[in-house]
Amino acid sequence: MDLTNCPQCGKLYVKKIRETCDVCYKEEEKQYDLVYKFVRRSENRLATLLDTHHKTGVPEKTIIKFIHQGRIRVVGFPNFTYPCDGCDSPILDGRLCEGCKTKIQNDLKIEELIKTKQEELRSSYYTGQ
């Protein structure tokens, strides 16, 4: 048996596929249900993350986790922003804002450029040009 401490409540539990113990898992499913039902209602289209937290009692952190997992979609909710993983600016989709996405893409491009340059150098060395 693979015993480990539940990251939510600290209790020992048998590690299976789940990240948390059964009690916390069930609790989180209940919370998911509350958030899901809340965002499904059309009158809540203008709700914010804070509103949802107040109305459902589910911690903001947990709501963001559901969004990151793709279980709750807030595209089409103009006010339902949550912090970007890179810089904390408010975003509505995925984990990163446009700025951080562009930055990562640029970083990748630079890396690729360096790689190509190194390969060019290497091949010119071997061919003696």
At closest approach, how far in Å is the CB of 7 from Zn ion? Answer: 8
- Measured in degrees and rounded to the nearest 5, phi and psi for residue 91 equal -130, 165
CA 96 to chain CA centroid, Å, is 8
Q: Which is nearer to Zn ion, 49 or 97 (CB)?
A: 97
Instruction: Tell me the CA distances in angstroms from 122 to 73, 97, 110, one per residue in order.
Output: 48, 37, 18
Residues near Zn ion (CB under 5 A) are 6, 8-9, 20-21, 24, 84, 86-87, 89, 97, 100
Q: Which is nearer to Zn ion, 44 or 92 (CB)?
A: 92
Q: Which is nearer to Zn ion, 29 or 120 (CB)?
A: 29
Q: Which is nearer to Zn ion, 23 or 110 (CB)?
A: 23
Nearest 5°: CA angle at 9, between 5 and 12? 30
Nearest-angstrom CA–CA distance, 58 and 50: 10
At closest approach, how far in Å is the CB of 112 from Zn ion? Answer: 22
